Each structure stands twice: as structure tokens, then as C-alpha cells.
Structure 1
Amino acid sequence: MSEEAELRDWLVALRTPGLGSAGLRERLAAAQGCIGEVLSQMRRHASALDASAQAWLDEPDKERIAADLAWLAAPGHRLLRYTEADFPPQLETISQPPAALFLSGDASLLLHPQVAIVGARSASTAGKTNARTFARSLALAGFVVTSGLADGIDAAAHEATLDADRPTIAVIGTGPDLVYPRKNRELSSRVEAHGLLVSEFPPGTAARADHFPRRNRIIAGLSLGTLVIEAGLQSGSLITARLAAEHAREVFAVPGSIHNPLARGCHRLIRDGARLVESASEIVESLVPAARALGAELAQRLEQPTVAPGKGTRAASGGWRADPDYQRLLDVLGHDPVALDELVTRTGQVAAVLSSMLLMLELEGCVEGLPGGRYQRLPDA
């Protein structure tokens, strides 16, 4: 089956009314990952489906599918399916993991260690200042800042990360071709150009209230930890924090004045076990072990023989310094800034594997990540 034919089948399945991610994953498992077989089986047993699903499978909207394919054909656009090797493994452990994600931007960022920063849309000036300070510091420490492109805390976190010349990920509650709220259109364009837009929803999908809790589970699932900065007691940010805790991820909260209604959600989180933080360094210290573990898991998933220190035989016999792949990477890095694409050419490794290796070297203090997706070997490495 050609790539376009397979994509077409995936788009038909993703748009099938009532199927959903869980149903699609279940059917794909039974069909040994063949999306064409999934559609064939559903059509053979159409009587078990509701009327809208039957009608769609009998005659999918050709114009809609053609528009989807046209969107995917544009540079930087991709449908990342859970059956692909570079689908983020951290999403596999959440409840109701997505079957596929529509991406616009740098897909490799999904394999970097992420910290979610979320909070009130109607954030105070102080709250947005805190969001910018934390986001900038976390980004410069090597973490990708992930949020939801909403007003207030989300937007401040994205903007500060981009202003620091570091990439950011925005998980949105619309199709990947739409922006909500519309006032963040310019910010969305910046994220797309210098980071990554992520959506579970096909192109053309408008914002709906029930989309945002679904978006929040992906934000929490992608991230090693979630930081909440200003949240009322009814804030959607508390949903993201709850989901993060359910996914066994770290939850951090910034305290505020007892007279500030937007501090009450954070105070509740702290009472319920979230870690009170006053600086980004506390988050970095807490998440470095999880980031190293993620790097090791990614290396194994992508069939990269090198793993993190303490994981596997090569590391146990001498750590990454004894690994020839890491040594070759350091050799080709030199001491001048090099873009990831150039490193792919020099090493012959795929970008996702190199991202995992560079993360390990950055955490070990041997490599520095620079603006523009470049890397530089540090003098003592």
C-alpha cells in the first residue's frame, strides 16, 4: 500500500463517527496494525455500527479527505500514528492515549523532555511574569516548555520560551489549521515556525468545550511534570494537574496571596501533595532523573543500542563515555555550533535518535543546546 493510500485510510478511520482513539487502537491490534484491514472489517460488519458510522464508511466525504491530504502535504505537516517508532512513548501510559496526532512544525520535539506550564486565562500581571520567568529558565535548562496556547499563563509561557530562542510545543483543542483564541494567531505562527503545534483533531475541527479536557490529557501526558501558576478552584488547569498526577508525573505549584482567588487552586494542589516551588531550579533538579530515563527509553524504542548510564550492558560496562556512538557524535560536533540536520548528515543517525543522545550529553554537561536548534560541544567534554 502506498503512503498516500495508507494516509487516506487513516483519515477515513479517524473521522469515522463513534470510533474514537480507543476503538481504533483496539481494531488495529486485532488487525495486526493494518489500517486497510480495519476499514474492511468495519465495512463487513457495518450492522454493528451506528447509522452515522455506516453512512461515512459507505461514502466518505472525498472533498474533506482530499483537503486533509492537501494539509498533510504541506512542509512541516505530518500525521504521527501511534504505530510509528517516534510516537512519544510517554503517551502510551496515559488513559485513553491518542491513536494519532496532527503535527505542524518540528516533530522531533515530542521526544525531548517536556515541562507543562499551565494556569489561568485571566492571569494577573504577576502571574504572567512568573510564567515567563519559569518558562525561560526551564527552556534554557534544556526542557521543552509545553502548554495549550490559551490566553494568560499559557501564552506568556510560549512567548517567553520563543523570546529566549528556544522551541515550545502548543497542544491545541481545534484542528491544526485553526487558532483558538483567534487573538493568538501571531503566537500560533511563531510556535509553528520555531516549535511544534499538536492536535488530536483533524483539520477544520472547530473549538468545542469538550475538546479542551482531551487536549489537557495530552499536555499532561507528554510532560515529565506540570507546573501550575495561578488557577481558580474551577480552573481547567486543575484538570491538567490531576491528569498529570494520575499519570504518575510530578505536579508543581506556585503559591500566592491568600487574598488572590487565582491562588486558591494552587494552594489546593499543594495541600493535595503538589510540590511548592519558588524557582525553576527546583523543577530541574526534580526532573533530571526522569529526563535521563526518558532518553534511555527513547534510545531503546528507536533501536539505538546506546542507553543511559545505569541502563543496559553498554552503560554498565563504562557509561556513555565507553560507547563508540557517543564518542563519534562528540567528535563530529567539534566545538563550533552545529545544526541537528548537519549532525544527521555527519553521523548517519536519524534525527530522533540524535535528539535522545544530545539530551543525554546535555544533561551530563558535555553539550550545550543553542538557539536555532544548534548544539555545541563544551570545552571540557
Structure 2
Amino acid sequence: MERAELAAWLRLLESPGVGLEAARRLLTQTGSAPAIFDLPGDAWQAVLSPAQRASLGQVPDHLADLVEQTWVWLNADPRHDILLLGDADYPAALLQTADPPLLLYLHGRRELLGRPALAIVGSRSPTAQGVDNAHRFAQDLSKAGLTIVSGMALGIDGAAHRGALDGALAGGASTLALMGTGLDQTYPRRHLQLAQEISENGLLISEYSLGTPVLPANFPRRNRLIAGLSMGCLVVEAALKSGSLITARLASEAGREVFAIPGSIHSPLSRGCHELIRQGAKLVERIEDILEELPSIQAAANAKQAVAENVSNLPTAQAQVLNLMGFDPVSLDGLAQRGAWPVADLSGLLLELELNGEIARLAGQLFQRRKKA
């Protein structure tokens, strides 16, 4: 992104009273933020109110400083990035929501945005069992291939992020943290270390400009992104008047699955989950209760488990080859590109596996694993 393009996007977003809906209409006409400011004044009339036109026509006083701050931030770390509405990798799930952001600030692994994800949310003051449940479910769901989305709050959010990071260390997916402040801030401060770990192994995301402080109104808006980025939302513990229920409602309105873990009828932190279940959320006791509602993820998890189980008694090198193969046909060269063996050594291993009945040689010099009953 060039500095002039960045300045145009920030001016569009920072002009008071314009709003995302009107900005998206302008972008539909022009295709880019810089082109908006090249339009003749009367071209805005069909899209903007008089007050909005007046606001957009004035350069915000703080814009130059914000552009400089953002430009420095972008170039300070290769993990710093900006995602624009219309970018090829803008999450399709967000595009399907009613209010997708124009711009997202990113710190971490941008490629995680394109992977299947599940939100885990809950109380900021959970029970010890709630913390354990959030961590365990996040870890196991990460291992099953789901990126865990949450909001970096104390309590359930933090436990879910940490569980997902532990899952990633075991070869699973990782975690997305949606922030309610600018990415140059960390809130709560107790999560400084967690934010650092997520920036290295997951992804921190915010739609708010750098320097945006803690503002209560921003967190409910942030929740629409948690819901929008996810295939479903799991509520671990929540009181009846909980922000987690807002996220669950937004997920339901966006057509996502809603899941809830039940608890004691005597616990105030169970009442929100029980209310969700009464409203149609799926009662969850184990991760399979979630995966069976997400068939593509369940299939991938089953295949991964089958590979792990069926190679356990093979010599190490043969087991590694089978793990690389999965069950899809693959050529010798294609398999060599996945592993670290010379072609001659790999040919020998494939021959051993074929003689042992573990794989079959197909037409076109392809090999395929044979799934045993």
C-alpha cells in the first residue's frame, strides 16, 4: 500500500458522521478510497447527506498525524499489516455479514483469516471449571483444525486463546484475537504476554485506528466481528446480562451455529447458557457435539486421527511417508516435495509400503494409501 492510498482510506474512515454504510456505497461506485476524493462534488449527492458531504469535504485536523503514525507502524514490523475491503483475502464470512469493516489492522499471521474458525466466549469472572472447559475445548478444537476466535478479555476469552495456542504447538490451528482498541494498545494490561504470544503464533485484529483507547461502546461492536469470522459460537459460562450473549445473538443472526455448555442450576454463570439452550442453542458436553454440526471439519479430524492410528505400528520413516500421503492419490515427485527424502530413498520406502499392503500403485505413476478396515 502506498502512503497516499493509506491517507485516503484513513480520511474516509475518520471523517465524522460518514459511517461505514455510506462509505461502502461510495466504494461500490469507485472501487477504491483514493478515487472517492477524485470525484466531482455533485457525484456524492446520490450517496451522502448534506452533512456527510460537508464532513467528507474537510480534511480532519488529526489526519496527517494519524497517517504518519500508521505508516511508521506498518513499516516497523513485517507482521504488521492492513486488510482492505475488496482485497482478495478479505474473509468471505465477513462479507456475508450486515456490517463488514472497510479496513482491518493485523498483527501476526494474516493467512489464518482464511481458515475455518469457531468463536469461544464467556464470562470475565468464570469459575475454575469454566476456565478449564474453555482451555480444553479450545485446545481440542484447534487440534481438530478449527482456528479459535475470541476477544482477549479476562476469564473465558483468555483461557480460550491459551488453549488454542497450546493446540497450535501440537500441530493444530491457532487463534484470532479481536481487539476493542487500536493495535498499539493492549487491553487488559494483564494480557500483555498473551498478546505477544498471539502476535507470534496467531493473529491480533482490530478495526480501530491506532491510538484508539478503551471506549465501552467499541466492545459490543467488536463482538460482531467475533461472530462474523466464525462458523459458530460456543458460550462456556455467561450470566443473563452478559456481552457473550450479544455475541451469540449476532452469530445466530448471521446464520452461524450457536453452542452452549450447561452448568449447575444454582450458578448465575450457567443461566446465560441455559437461556441460549432454551432458545435453540445446541447443548455441548464434548467437542464431538460441535464437530458433528460442522461436517467438513469432522471429516478432516477423522481422517487425521485415522492416519495417526493406522501408522502407529510402522517403522518411523514409513509412518512419516503415510502421514504425508493422507488418502489422496499423489505422485512420487509430489510426495518428494512434501518431505525431506531424496527421490531414490522415497522410492524405496514406497516399495516397502506397497509390499506390506499399506499403499497401492495406480495408473499414471500415482500412489494411494489403502485404508484398512
C-alpha deviation, 1:59, in angstroms: 5.2
Question: Of 61, 71, 82, which residue of structure 2 is paired with 1:79?
Answer: 82
Partner Cα distance (2:24, 2:63) in 1: 23
- Are 1:115 and 2:118 an aligned pair? yes
Partner Cα distance (1:105, 1:289) in 2: 26
Partner Cα distance (1:177, 1:154) in 2: 20
Q: Assess if the C-alpha contact under 8 Å between 1:13 and 1:39 holds in 2.
A: no
1:254-275 superposed Cα distances (whole Å, 9 cap, x missing partner): 0000000000000000000000
Partner Cα distance (2:23, 2:250) in 1: 22
Q: Assess if the C-alpha contact under 8 Å between 2:146 and 2:297 holds in 1.
A: no
Identify the residue that residue 156 of structure 1 maps to in structure 2. Answer: 159
Going from structure 1 to structure 2, the CA distance change for 1:328 and 1:224 (only over 3 Å counts) comes to: farther
C-alpha deviation, 1:99, in angstroms: 1.2
Partner Cα distance (1:227, 1:42) in 2: 48
Query: Which runs of 5 or more structure 2 residues have no equivalent in the other structure?
Result: 300-326, 342-367
Going from structure 1 to structure 2, the CA distance change for 1:48 and 1:258 (only over 3 Å counts) comes to: same
Question: Of 206, 226, 231, which residue of structure 2 is paired with 1:224?
Answer: 231
Work out which of the two has the higher radius of gyration on C-alpha atoms and give 1 or 2. Answer: 2
Partner Cα distance (1:170, 1:21) in 2: 22
Identify the residue that residue 196 of structure 1 maps to in structure 2. Answer: 203
Identify the residue that residue 323 of structure 2 maps to in structure 1. Answer: none
SS for the counterpart of 1:219 is helix
- Are 1:23 and 2:22 an aligned pair? yes
Partner Cα distance (1:278, 1:161) in 2: 18
SS for the counterpart of 1:134 is helix
Identify the residue that residue 175 of structure 1 maps to in structure 2. Answer: 182
Query: Which runs of 5 or more structure 1 residues have no equivalent in the other structure?
Result: 293-319, 337-377
- Are 1:266 and 2:300 an aligned pair? no
Going from structure 1 to structure 2, the CA distance change for 1:138 and 1:62 (only over 3 Å counts) comes to: same
Question: Of 268, 281, 285, which residue of structure 1 is paired with 2:292?
Answer: 285
Partner Cα distance (1:55, 1:39) in 2: 8
- Are 1:233 and 2:235 an aligned pair? no
Partner Cα distance (2:20, 2:333) in 1: 41
Partner Cα distance (1:20, 1:282) in 2: 40
Identify the residue that residue 143 of structure 1 maps to in structure 2. Answer: 146
Q: Which moved more, 1:246-255 or 1:159-168?
A: 159-168
Going from structure 1 to structure 2, the CA distance change for 1:157 and 1:38 (only over 3 Å counts) comes to: same
Identify the residue that residue 255 of structure 2 maps to in structure 1. Answer: 248
Going from structure 1 to structure 2, the CA distance change for 1:50 and 1:82 (only over 3 Å counts) comes to: closer
Identify the residue that residue 62 of structure 1 maps to in structure 2. Answer: 64
SS for the counterpart of 1:63 is helix
Partner Cα distance (1:330, 1:288) in 2: 27
TM-score scaled by length of structure 1: 0.75
C-alpha deviation, 1:280, in angstroms: 1.1
Partner Cα distance (1:52, 1:76) in 2: 37
SS for the counterpart of 2:37 is helix
Identify the residue that residue 208 of structure 1 maps to in structure 2. Answer: 215
C-alpha deviation, 1:41, in angstroms: 3.7
Going from structure 1 to structure 2, the CA distance change for 1:126 and 1:56 (only over 3 Å counts) comes to: farther
Question: Of 333, 338, 356, which residue of structure 1 is paired with 2:338?
Answer: 333
C-alpha deviation, 1:6, in angstroms: 1.3
The percent identity for this pair of structures is 42
C-alpha deviation, 1:14, in angstroms: 1.8
Higher relative contact order (CA 8 A, sep 6+): 1
SS for the counterpart of 1:230 is coil
- Are 1:40 and 2:38 an aligned pair? yes
Partner Cα distance (1:207, 1:56) in 2: 27
C-alpha deviation, 1:79, in angstroms: 1.2
Identify the residue that residue 49 of structure 1 maps to in structure 2. Answer: 51
- Are 1:275 and 2:275 an aligned pair? no
Identify the residue that residue 125 of structure 1 maps to in structure 2. Answer: 128
Going from structure 1 to structure 2, the CA distance change for 1:264 and 1:8 (only over 3 Å counts) comes to: same
Partner Cα distance (1:42, 1:186) in 2: 49
Q: Assess if the C-alpha contact under 8 Å between 2:10 and 2:63 holds in 1.
A: no
Aligned length: 310
Identify the residue that residue 5 of structure 1 maps to in structure 2. Answer: 4
Amino acid across the alignment from 1:251: V
C-alpha deviation, 1:50, in angstroms: 5.0
SS for the counterpart of 2:181 is coil
1:137-185 superposed Cα distances (whole Å, 9 cap, x missing partner): 0011111111000000000011122233252110011111111111111
Going from structure 1 to structure 2, the CA distance change for 1:11 and 1:240 (only over 3 Å counts) comes to: same
Partner Cα distance (1:59, 1:267) in 2: 49
Partner Cα distance (1:5, 1:227) in 2: 42
Partner Cα distance (2:114, 2:69) in 1: 28
Identify the residue that residue 94 of structure 1 maps to in structure 2. Answer: 97
Q: Assess if the C-alpha contact under 8 Å between 1:224 and 1:291 holds in 2.
A: no
Partner Cα distance (2:291, 2:49) in 1: 53
